[in-house]
């Protein structure tokens, strides 16, 4: 009779377990930065696409309304005078039909205009619940660490409107509408239309209505506006790496949570990532539509 000996199973020693754990920890340490870079790149791409849609929608609005660009705030498409079926509010309200938000625009129709700036006419108004409680998919940037911390994100955005192009358009306030492309002699490919601007900033005293939480139905997204006495020239330089809730960003200027720079949408519908190393003078040259500067960024 043959007896079979059963081999004794040998378990892991404590040292072997520690070695395995150490290897796993090293691998995780190596992978995490790569995963974070992928996430950052995806967020930057999404943000870039949002800005592109904003710029193309604005160009589409101008093409529809005899080259008239929407104002940063005011009536549209009339030249500041009350008229039936104007929209009354900020630029993002005016471009809703051009970003596939027709139903949201229709929901804002009031008769007469709630604040009277469009007279007693039927008006697509900012002062309506559907607009002020809306969450438009392309209005937040996924990298904006402040988004949703004020107003739950309702009626808010992570983007800014270049106040050097998009102006005030009420008949009592003057200025009027810019024309596309006639009002941009520097060239649409050399002029910024939109930039990033964190939703919740510590200050926006020059924003005319003190919107430090980037309220898009009205004048919240405006930056670098002479109409609002906001910083211009080299003082308008964009801000990055702003932390905190609210952020340390000044709401009168562009700001971004992306590493190394900021996304911008130009007047030709293209998008450019501007490095944080660009000079303030060059940034301002890109913000002004008629300065005659040559860009080298």
What one-character DSSP code corresponds to residue 188?
Answer: G
Q: Which residue has the higher pLDDT, 192 or 9?
A: 192
Residue 42, pLDDT above cutoff 90: no
What is the pLDDT, as a whole number, of residue 26? 82
Instruction: Please report the beta strands in 95-236, taking only residues with DSSP state E, as ranges in sequence order.
Output: 109-110, 123-125, 159-162, 168-170, 174-175, 192-196, 201-203, 222-223
214-229: b or e for each residue (b if 16 or more CB lie within 10 Å)? bbbbbbbbbbbbebbe
266: exposed, middle or buried (Cβ count in 10 Å: 0-12, 13-18, 19+): buried
pLDDT digits over 182-232, tens only?
A: 999 999 999 999 999 999 999 876 556 678 899 999 999 999 998 888 999
pLDDT digits over 265-293, tens only?
A: 999 999 999 999 999 999 999 999 999 98
- What average pLDDT does the segment 66-87 reach? 96
% of the chain residues with pLDDT over 90: 74
- Which of 5-9, 148-152, 244-248, 252-256 shows the lowest per-residue confidence on average (mean pLDDT)? 5-9
Residue 88, pLDDT above cutoff 80: yes
What is the pLDDT, as a whole number, of residue 97? 98
Q: Distances in Å between the alpha carbon of 147 and those of 132, 135, 201?
A: 15, 11, 10
Contact 178, 166 (CB under 8 A): yes
Mean pLDDT of the chain: 91
267-277: b or e for each residue (b if 16 or more CB lie within 10 Å)? bbbebbebeee
Residue 1, pLDDT above cutoff 70: no
What are the structural domain ranges in the chain?
20-287
Residue 153, pLDDT above cutoff 80: yes
- Say if strands 174-175 and 222-223 run parallel, antiparallel, or are unpaired: unpaired
- What average pLDDT does the segment 172-184 reach? 89
Give the closest residue to 256 by CA, choosing from 289, 232, 278.
Answer: 278
pLDDT digits over 91-115, tens only?
A: 999 999 999 999 999 999 999 999 9
Q: Distances in Å between the alpha carbon of 127 and those of 88, 113, 155?
A: 9, 9, 11
Q: Which residue has the higher pLDDT, 234 or 208?
A: 234
Q: Cis omega before residue 246 (within 30°)?
A: yes
Q: Cis omega before residue 181 (within 30°)?
A: yes
What is the pLDDT, as a whole number, of residue 296? 84
Residue 121 tokens read as 């006419």
What is the pLDDT, as a whole number, of residue 43? 87
The sheet with strand 109-110 has its strands ordered as 109-110, 123-125, 86-90, 73-76, 168-170, 174-175
Q: What is the rounded distance in angstroms from the CA atom of residue 24 to the CA atom of residue 92? A: 49
Residue 7, pLDDT above cutoff 60: no
């Amino acid at each position: 009779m043959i007896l079979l000996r059963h081999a004794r199973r040998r378990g892991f020693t404590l040292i072997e377990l520690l070695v395995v754990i150490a290897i796993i920890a090293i691998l995780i340490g190596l992978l995490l930065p790569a995963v974070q870079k992928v996430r950052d790149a995806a967020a930057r791409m999404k943000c870039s696409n949002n800005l592109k849609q904003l710029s193309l929608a604005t160009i589409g609005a101008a093409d529809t309304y005899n080259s008239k660009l929407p104002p940063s705030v005011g009536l549209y498409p009339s030249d500041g005078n009350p008229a039936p079926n104007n929209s009354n509010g900020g630029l993002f309200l005016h471009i809703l039909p051009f970003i596939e938000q027709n139903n949201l625009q229709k929901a804002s129709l009031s008769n007469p205009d709630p604040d009277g700036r469009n007279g007693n006419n039927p008006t697509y108004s900012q002062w309506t619940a559907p607009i002020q409680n809306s969450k438009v998919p392309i209005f937040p940037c996924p990298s904006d660490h402040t988004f949703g911390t004020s107003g739950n994100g309702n009626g808010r955005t992570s983007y800014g409107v270049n106040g050097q192009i998009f102006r005030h358009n009420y008949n009592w306030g003057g200025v009027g509408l810019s024309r596309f492309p006639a009002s941009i002699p520097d060239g649409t490919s050399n002029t910024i239309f939109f930039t990033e601007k964190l939703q919740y900033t510590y200050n926006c005293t020059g924003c005319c209505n003190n919107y430090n939480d980037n309220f898009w139905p009205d004048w919240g997204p405006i930056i670098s506006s002479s109409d609002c006495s906001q910083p211009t020239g080299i003082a308008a330089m964009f801000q990055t790496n702003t932390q905190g809730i609210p952020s340390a960003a000044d709401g009168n200027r562009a700001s971004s949570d992306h590493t190394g720079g900021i996304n911008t949408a130009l007047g030709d519908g293209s998008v450019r990532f501007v490095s944080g190393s660009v000079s303030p003078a060059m940034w301002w040259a890109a913000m002004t539509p008629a300065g005659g500067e040559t860009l080298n960024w």
